[in-house]
Every structure is written in C-alpha cells, then in structure tokens.
Amino acid sequence: MKARVHAVAGILALTLISLFFTASVTVELVGTERAVSIVKTSIVVALFVLVPSMMAAGGTGRSLAQGRTAPMLRRKQRRTAVAGAIGLAVLVPCAITLQSLAAKGDFGTPFVVLQAVELVGGAVNITLLGLNARDGRLLSGATRRRRREAAATTARL
C-alpha cells in the first residue's frame, strides 16, 4: 500500500509540475494578459495539491528506503531533496509573486525575469522527478515483471 501511495503521489507531483510548465509556456506564447492571470492564479491554487503530494512522495519514499543502500536509491533521494529545495525556495515563491504581478496587470521586466526563473526551475524539477519515476519503476521491479509477462505471452502464442 505504501509503495502505491508513493507512486501515485510522485506521479501526481510530476503531472502537476508538467501541467504548470506547459500552461505557462502556452499562455505566454498565445494567451492574453487575462489568460496569463488566470493560469497564474490556477497554479497558486493547485499548490495546495502539489505541496502535499510532494510531501507524501518524499515521506513514503523515505519509509520505503529505510535500511536499503542501493546506489540508485541514494541518487533518487538526492534528486528528491534537490527537487524539494527548488520547489520550496524557487518555484513556490515565483508562483505566488507571478500571480500577484499578473493580478495587478504588471507584466514588465520583473514578471519576465521571474517567469524565466520559474520555467528553468520547473524544467529542472520535471527532469529530476522524471528520472525518479524511471528509477522507482526499476527499483520496484515493475519493468522486469512487465518484460517477463510480455515474454511469457509471446511464448504462448
């Protein structure tokens, strides 16, 4: 059960960050200032789902890793710590500030610079969490099981 909660929380976090990134890029390229403001407000509201999902993924991951010392597991833990730090120190403050600026209609240089910082931080977190998802599948044996099942199905045909 703990492994399933971990996987769902991690996938939810990765999905939300990817959605935030995609929505921000899309609305900046083709949206109106009002659309930018709506996206920025939606992201801030969705932080109330993202932050707990990141905490759940981190907490269950720490619990699942207890007593294990595999190098892949240590890399996964380091990536999680970096992603969490980027999220709390960069992405959350950027999201809140960008929403505030957008709500005032202030799309000047501070907005553009913060938006760039947020996009870079988001891209780094998407990469880190994506690598963690891949390694989590490898650590759980899900990939090996699927290959064995596929081979067994093929052999029966």
Q: Give residue-wise pLDDT tens across range 89-143.
A: 999 999 999 999 999 999 999 999 999 999 999 999 999 999 999 999 998 876 5
Give the per-residue pLDDT at 147. 63
CA–CA–CA angle 30, 35, 39 (5° rounding): 105
Distances 46 to 12, 36, 102 between C-alpha atoms, Å: 11, 15, 17
Model pTM?
Answer: 0.85
Indicate whether 152 pLDDT > 80: no
1-29: burial string, b at 16+ Cβ within 10 Å, e else: eeeeebbebbebbbebbbebbebbeebee
Angle, helices 33-65 vs 2-30, to 10°: value is 160
Are 43 and 23 a contacting pair, CB within 8 Å? yes
Instruction: State the DSSP code for 108.
Output: S
54 pLDDT band, cuts 50/70/90, is very high
Angle, helices 33-65 vs 71-86, to 10°: value is 150
Residues 132 and 84: their CA atoms lie apart, in Å, by 13
